[in-house]
Copies of this chain bind each other. A is one copy, B any other.
Amino acid sequence: MTMTSAQHSCHRVTTGPIMASRKEHQHVEGPAGEDLRVPVRRIGLTDGTHLDVYDTSGPYTAYLEDGSDLHDLTVGTVRTRETWTHPEPVGGAATQLAWARAGTVTPEMVFVAAREGCDVELVRSEVAAGRAVIPANHRHPESEPMIIGRAFRTKVNANIGNSVVTSSVAEEVEKMVWATRWGADTVMDLSTGADIHETREAILRNSPVPIGTVPIYQALEKVKGDPEALTWEIYRDTVIEQCEQGVDYMTVHAGVLRAHVPLTSGRVTGIVSRGGAIMAAWCLAHRQESFLYTHFDELCEILRRYDVTFSLGDGLRPGSIADANDDAQLAELRTLGELTQVARRYGVQVMVEGPGHVPMHLVAENARLAHEWCDDAPFYTLGPLTTDIAPGYDHITSAIGAAMIAQAGTAMLCYVTPKEHLGLPDRDDVKVGVITYKIAAHAADLAKGHPGAQARDDALSKARFEFRWHDQFALALDPDTARAFHDETLPAEPAKTA
């Protein structure tokens, strides 16, 4: 599966079915009679039965393994949502939130209800209450709608993105395809280097999942990396550029206020969020309040035209166990709660981001405060890492915290790869990060008693007990690795340990 440079340059991405699986589509009727084709992965078992699982991989797993029938990546993939019809804007907001509040069911709501296996009214009411979001920019018709909210399957985001010195546009498209193959529900493009616009365009046009960004990164490139040179106008134009391209959700660090910055002075690790550090530097240099905060209403007016979802960034998140749940973090969280209400008044969908580094005994408290102060907006966390002492293994230090915070109601988990703190993740790191976070998310779904979650565990355990090795591999989150490990050594006894 390893791509050569030659393959990259002619835009090869990973295609072909996952082991023993076939992509199927459930045909569901939309509100205007649309034929909504809802994807599932059907895992065939040797006992003649099958198990259907949630599928994020888009068309790529339906292509041949050699990619000979792959669509032209320079043109883009199938535009799933292009022909769907949408209601008129409500009070200027053409958003899932505005429609849900008005009692209107959209094709996106029907689609995600079928995907989640729940009633569409649950979807509508959770979106209307702001407890769930459906990130679906009108300009990203290629995406297959999905929902982020505590009443639904816990979701996983994978970060990709080039930097000044590494990787090509084609490599980033492949990372997106690769991450969604293994189950990433959304992908954030955090590119900071050359060709930001072109990279994002290629990702969006080929992505079956919602794409998130951090617009301040591109805005900073426009001022050659000097935070002081940033202006509201440069930022605003960048946001509009990205809205026009089809970005589905955007991290906005509007909660980092000028008054919060001194609260970080006693920290072990200061401000570790890049967006947070940029805005803190701007506030200090200009002795002014953050332009993201003072222009937040204008941002809302822009985002609601496209139905771009806010992901309110935690620019003051702790970068170490020592700084967890401190005054700086909690002051920002209060502001995020205030901004959540502003955005909702405009009909804009909102998620709230969370840390970072948090010891286990503070994890549930962190989620509780976020839900309480931000009126149950979907919580979206990075990890959190539960100890600082294991660089090289931070997918694991953070999987512990991620599983626990998801059990406490966090709706989406941003993955952490083994390269965290050390370097940029390569293809293998992306896969390990996604699989690790699928584990955390699924463990939490089991713990929450999410309907149907245990069916896959039971099917795999039954296969294991009956020595149906092939079925055990097929049902695994990563069939290829399970089979490879098995083939490397001997068939195991039913139990190898006492």
Contact = CB atoms under 8 A, between A and B. Distances in A.
B495 A390 contact: no
B446 A496 contact: no
A215 to B, nearest CB: 10
A389 B268 contact: no
B489 A393 contact: no
Interface string A305-332: 0000000010000011110000000000
B396 A436 contact: yes
A368 B497 CA distance: 23
A240 interface: no
Contact of A423 (B272, B319, B449, B492): B492
Given A393-B478, A447-B361, A422 B486 contact: yes
Given A275-B498, A465-B269, A488-B423, A457 B391 contact: no
Given A360-B443, A400-B399, A268 B214 contact: no
Interface in A110-158: none
A371 to B, nearest CB: 18
Contacts of A320: 457-458, 461, 464-465
A451 B455 CA distance: 42
A175 to B, nearest CB: 14
Interface in A257-310: 268-270, 272-275, 277
Contact of A391 (B188, B392, B482, B498): B482
Contacts of A188: 498
A169 interface: no
Contacts of A489: 166, 419, 422-424, 426
Given A321-B454, A424-B490, A498 B190 contact: yes
Contacts of A313: 498
Contacts of A497: 159, 190, 274, 382, 414, 416, 420
Copies of the protein in its oligomer: 2
Interface in A403-457: 403-404, 407, 414, 416, 418-424, 426, 435-436, 438-440, 442-444, 446-449, 454, 456-457
Contacts of A395: 396
A461 B424 contact: no
Nearest to A495: B272
Nearest to A159: B497
Given A269-B464, A435-B390, A440 B400 contact: yes
Interface stretch (A5-13, A91-99, A197-205, A469-477): A469-477
A292 to B, nearest CB: 13
A273 B498 contact: yes
A1 interface: no
A486 B391 CA distance: 10
Interface string A235-272: 00000000000000001010000000000000011101
Contacts of A321: 446, 454, 457-458, 461
Contacts of A476: 389-392
Contact of A496 (B361, B420, B472, B473): B420
A423 B359 contact: no
Contacts of A397: 439, 443
A486 B423 contact: yes
Of A322, A426, A439, A495, most B-chain CB atoms within 10 Å: A495
A53 to B, nearest CB: 9
B420 A390 contact: no
A446 B360 contact: yes
A188 B496 CA distance: 12
